[in-house]
Structure formats: C-alpha cells, structure tokens
C-alpha cells in the first residue's frame, strides 16, 4: 500500500499561487470550460420574431431570410429552404444587366430594343422597351436578347468570377434559358451574399455599371427609406417557383432579403411582395 506523504505548507502555498496565476492568465480557462467563447462577430439567427406568420396567414409554402448588416444577424423562416438551390428566374436580370452594360452589349439603361412582334401572355412585354423598363416589367425577351449578344463564353467568365450560384449555365444553346429552367441554380442565402457584394461594389464590374443597375432596382423611395429589389417566377418546375430579392436602406442600416415560395395561383405574384413587406414590418421596418 502506498502512503501519501504530507506536503510541506510552504510548497502547498506556492502550488496554490501558481494555479491561481495560470487561471487568471487564461492557461487553464479551456480546461475549466471546454466550450471556447464565441467571437462577437459571429452571425446569429434571431428566433424571437415569427417570420412564418405571414406564410401561414396567406396559406403559402416558402421561406424568407433577412440579413441585418449593422447587427450582423439573420432573421429567417424555413431555414432548410433558405439553403436549397432554385432556378433564379428573373432575379438573374440583376446579373444579366451588369454584364450587358459592362460588355457594351447595351449602352445604357434607356437604349431601346425593338419588339419582335410576337404576342406574349403579358401585355407589357408586347412593345419596344429598354433596360430600365424591361427590368420593371420583367420582360423576358429583352434580357434573352442581351444574353445572346453577350454570348456563352463571356457570360460563363463573369459567372465564374462572381461565383454566382452553382456557376452552371449549360451549353451555348441554353444561353437564353439557363436562368429560367436550368442548369443555373442559387439558394436564398446565396442571393443575399450576391446582393451584399453588389451593395459594397465588390463585384468585377465598373462603378458606372454598378450604379446604373442599383438605380434601376429602386422600387420605392421615400424620405425614410429606399427599397431595391427584383421579382422572379419560373413555370418550369412543379410547383412553380417565385422570388423577391433585394435590400432595404433605412435608419442608417441595410437589410438584405430573399423570399422564395411555391407559386400556385396568379395572386402569388403579389403575395411574394406582400410577404416580404410583412416580414420587414415584423422586424420593425418600413
């Protein structure tokens, strides 16, 4: 049997003092607490605000994610869907317009392209139009012409440089459809990342191109806020899929948002925007 020898008092005091010193210095902090402190800059998700309420009230299946830049914080409903990739549909007009301006395919936001005379199911599309009006009306044929003029090689180059979505635009034959029915896909959170870079001018485009596109994105402007955004709707999936993405500048802050939802009837075109507005109001905005 081993016998424990008594430690002299002086040595015991010295050991105790050393342990105290090491603990204060932080050397023993990890042993005392196996979970290191989280950095204050880590993005958090606020659970106290119910962004699902408007979806339930309107009977809609979908998701929304809002990023508060100053607080470095996400507010969201249906987190798994916010990390699921969908066809970008007409939200891609933001990117398409940037590339068209940058490459000189179109000179500015007021240069008019002539309507081809083909009757389409949206009356606003059946006329000559320009980049600004075509963005507002979401005129598909106008932006398809831009994509064909840009060409597959240049479009793929910019997609790769930006890292947009899954970066897949298919073959040259798909140059005017890849954002409508694939293979290009993007998640709502990737939309947020792209919009953040657009806001910061952190994209491989000239300041002129960035400023023009930001300007045509303005949907509402009041003394209190500016709301920029773009809708999207693809009918190549079952159920059909809709978007509303953009950002709100208010109270010396920026709030980036991406709403994605199943589109089951004509009213859902309005509901994309309504759900977004209700969600922003739930956060205390607008």
Q: Where are the domains of the chain?
A: 43-282
Give the pLDDT band (50/70/90) at residue 286.
very high
Q: Reduce the DSSP state of residue 254 to 3 states and report it.
A: strand
**Catalytic-residue membership of 63:** no
Least confident interval from 41-55, 93-107, 138-152: 41-55
Catalytic residue (choose from 63, 90, 138, 209): 90
Q: Which helix (H) or strand (E) holds 16?
A: helix 9-25
pLDDT, averaged across the chain: 88
Give the pLDDT band (50/70/90) at residue 27.
very low
Query: What pLDDT sits at residue 95?
Result: 99
Query: What pLDDT sits at residue 48?
Result: 86
Hey, what CATH topology would domain 43-282 get?
Beta-lactamase (3.40.710)
Q: Are 159 and 204 in contact (CB under 8 A)?
A: no
Identify which has the larger pLDDT, 170 or 41.
170
Q: Reduce the DSSP state of residue 208 to 3 states and report it.
A: helix
Count of beta carbons in the 10 Å neighbourhood of residue 254: 19
Q: What is the pLDDT of residues 232-267, one digit of tens each?
A: 999 999 999 999 999 999 999 999 999 999 999 999
Q: Tokens 């309420």: give the residue.
A: 53
pTM of model > 0.75? yes
Q: Report whether pLDDT(29) > 60.
A: no
Q: Reduce the DSSP state of residue 238 to 3 states and report it.
A: coil
Give the pLDDT band (50/70/90) at residue 46.
low
Q: What is the pLDDT of residues 178-220, one digit of tens each?
A: 999 999 999 999 999 999 999 999 999 999 999 999 999 999 9
Beta bridge partners of 261: 62, 242
Q: Report whether pLDDT(277) > 70.
A: yes
Query: What pLDDT sits at residue 279?
Result: 98
Q: Are 107 and 117 in contact (CB under 8 A)?
A: no
Q: Report whether pLDDT(31) > 60.
A: no
């Amino acid at each position: 049997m081993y016998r424990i020898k008594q430690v002299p008092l002086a040595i015991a005091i010295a050991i105790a003092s050393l342990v105290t010193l090491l603990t204060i210095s932080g050397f023993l902090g990890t042993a005392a607490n196996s979970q290191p402190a989280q950095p204050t800059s880590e993005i958090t998700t606020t659970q106290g605000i119910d962004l699902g309420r408007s979806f339930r009230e309107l009977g809609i299946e979908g998701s929304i994610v809002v990023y508060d830049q100053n607080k470095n914080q996400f507010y969201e409903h249906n987190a798994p869907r916010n990390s699921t990739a969908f066809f970008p549909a007409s939200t891609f007009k933001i990117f398409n317009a940037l590339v068209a301006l940058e490459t000189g395919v179109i000179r500015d936001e007021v240069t008019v392209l002539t309507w081809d005379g083909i009757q389409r199911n949206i009356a606003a599309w059946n006329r000559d139009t320009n980049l600004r009006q075509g963005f507002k009306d979401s005129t598909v044929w106008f932006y398809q012409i831009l994509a064909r003029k840009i060409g597959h090689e240049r479009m793929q180059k910019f997609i790769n440089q930006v890292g947009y979505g899954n970066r897949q635009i298919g073959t040259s034959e798909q140059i005017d459809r890849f954002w409508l029915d694939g293979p290009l896909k993007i998640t709502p959170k990737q939309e947020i990342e792209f919009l953040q870079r657009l806001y910061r001018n952190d994209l491989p485009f000239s300041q002129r191109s960035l400023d023009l596109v930001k300007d045509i994105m303005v949907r509402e402007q009041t003394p209190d806020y500016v709301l920029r955004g773009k809708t999207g709707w693809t009918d190549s999936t079952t159920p059909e899929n809709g978007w509303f993405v953009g950002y709100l500048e208010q109270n010396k802050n920026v709030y980036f948002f991406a709403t994605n939802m199943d589109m089951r009837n004509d009213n859902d075109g309005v509901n994309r925007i309504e759900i977004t507005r209700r969600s922003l109001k739930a956060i205390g905005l607008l």
